Amino acid sequence: MTCVIVQPSYIPWRGFFDLMSKADVFVFYDCVQYDDHGWRNRNRIKTGAGLQWLTIPVYSKGAHTQAIPIKDVRIVRDHPWSRKHWAALVQNYGKAPFFERYAPMLGKFYGRSDERLADFTCELTVALARELGLETRFVRSSSLPAQGTKTDRLLDILTQLRATRYVSGPTAKDYLEMVKFEQARIEVEFMNYDYPEYPQLYGRFEPRVSILDLLFMVGPDAGSYIWPRTDQTK
Q: Which pLDDT band, with edges at 50, 70 and 90, does 232 fall under?
A: very low
User: Which one, of 165, 214, 167, 162, lies nearest residue 190 by Cα?
Assistant: 167
Considering the entire predicted model, what is its pTM? 0.93
Measured CA to CA, the distance from residue 156 to residue 174 in angstroms comes to 20
68-87: b or e for each residue (b if 16 or more CB lie within 10 Å)?
eebbbbebeeeeebbeebbe
pLDDT tens-digit series, residues 3-25? 999 999 999 999 999 999 999 99
pLDDT classification of 234: cutoffs 50, 70, 90? very low
Question: How many other CB atoms sit within 10 Å of the CB of residue 183?
Answer: 10
Is the pLDDT score of 94 beyond 90?
Answer: yes
Average pLDDT over residues 100-108: 98
Backbone region of residue 95 per phi and psi (left: phi > 0; alpha: psi in -120 to 50; beta: other values): alpha
Element (H or E) spanning 123, and its range?
helix 117-131
Give the pLDDT confidence score for residue 124 in this predicted structure.
98
Q: What percent of the chain has pLDDT over 70?
A: 95
Whether 214 contacts 228, CB under 8 Å: no
d(CA 164, CA 187): 6
For residues 67-88, give the mean pLDDT: 95
When pLDDT is averaged across residues 72-91 and rounded to a whole number, the result is 96
Pure H helices in 144-232: 150-160, 178-183, 211-218
As a whole number, mean pLDDT of residues 44-57 equals 97
